[in-house]
């Protein structure tokens, strides 16, 4: 039985804005300020995660004052975030899909204040029917909770949602929520294992081709 997709749920970091770099660099700089040089593998661990979800891993590995790290990392993040680049083709896609009548949602582990900044800069304020951020979630990706709560707020079944992600953590969250998922890998996530993805694309406009094929 073919399920008609009613809603498209977008991740934020790495999909709408090129902020995986901001996530990683803000942590690298904060650790550097505390005299710790982290490995390439450590950097990969940060990708796609909220700060509170990766610090536990680092606390087991290195000795550092957590409060100081969180303060420095946050300051670094917002400095870098002010000049973050947008994925313009994704923004255009979001607006086209809205015009086609799809419900559009944003599901992110990032905070509401920085998300509002993104909306202002990208002129996306009126586009999203539902926005779910860090503040809305008791559990974060890869738990299905963020996507399940998004579907609930939309009033749509999980099977009628298509998720757009860039990381394996987001993909697992979507699949755990029993949703279809398209992955657009970027320079920070391209080495991750996306075998669970329903589709892997290089460019956002390929998503329209997927939606036009009714056997999704």
Tell me the pLDDT tens digit for each residue of 97-152.
999 999 999 999 999 999 999 999 999 989 999 999 999 999 999 999 999 999 99
Q: How much is the pLDDT for 95?
A: 97
Mean pLDDT (the chain) is 95
Checking if the pLDDT of 216 tops 90, the result is: no
**CB hemisphere CA count around 62 (13 angstroms):** 17
Q: How many residues can be counted in the chain?
A: 216
Pairs from 70-78 (Cβ < 8 Å, separation ≥ 24): 72/29, 72/30, 72/33, 72/34, 73/26, 73/27, 73/29, 73/30, 74/26, 76/25, 76/26, 76/27, 76/29, 76/30, 77/22, 77/23, 77/26, 78/114
Closest to 118 (Cα-Cα) out of 103, 133, 104, 100: 133
Residues 6+ apart with CB under 8 A from 39: none
Q: How far is CA 200 from CA 21, 169, 203, in A?
A: 21, 15, 9
Residues 6+ apart with CB under 8 A from 190: none
Helix (H) or strand (E) holding 106: strand 103-107
Q: How much is the pLDDT for 199?
A: 97
The model's pTM is 0.93
Q: How much is the pLDDT for 1?
A: 46
Q: What is the per-residue pLDDT across 151-181, written as a single tens digit (0 to 9) for each? A: 999 999 999 999 999 999 999 999 999 999 9
Distance between CA 151 and CA 158 in Å, rounded? 6
b/e sequence 147-177, b meaning 16+ C-beta within 10 Å = bbbbbeebebebebbbbbbbbbbbbbbbbbb
């Amino acid at each position: 039985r073919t399920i008609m997709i009613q809603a498209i749920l977008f991740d934020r970091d790495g999909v709408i804005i090129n902020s995986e770099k901001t996530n990683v660099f803000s942590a690298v700089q904060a650790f550097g300020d505390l005299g710790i040089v982290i490995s390439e593998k450590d950097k990969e661990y940060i990708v796609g995660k909220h700060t509170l979800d990766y610090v536990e891993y680092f606390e087991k590995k290195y000795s550092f004052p957590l409060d100081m790290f969180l303060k420095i990392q946050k300051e670094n993040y917002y400095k870098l975030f002010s000049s973050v680049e947008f994925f313009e083709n994704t923004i255009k896609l979001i607006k086209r899909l809205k015009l086609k009548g799809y419900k559009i949602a944003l599901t992110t582990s990032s905070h509401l204040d920085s998300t509002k900044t993104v909306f202002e800069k990208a002129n996306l304020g009126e586009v999203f029917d539902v926005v779910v951020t860090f503040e809305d979630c008791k559990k974060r990706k890869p738990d299905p909770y963020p996507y399940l709560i998004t579907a609930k707020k939309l009033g749509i079944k999980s099977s009628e949602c298509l998720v757009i992600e860039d990381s394996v953590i987001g993909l697992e969250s979507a699949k755990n929520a029993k949703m279809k998922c398209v992955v657009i890998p970027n320079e920070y996530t391209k080495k991750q294992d996306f075998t669970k993805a329903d589709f892997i694309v290089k460019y956002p406009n390929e998503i329209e081709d997927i939606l036009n094929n009714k056997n999704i």
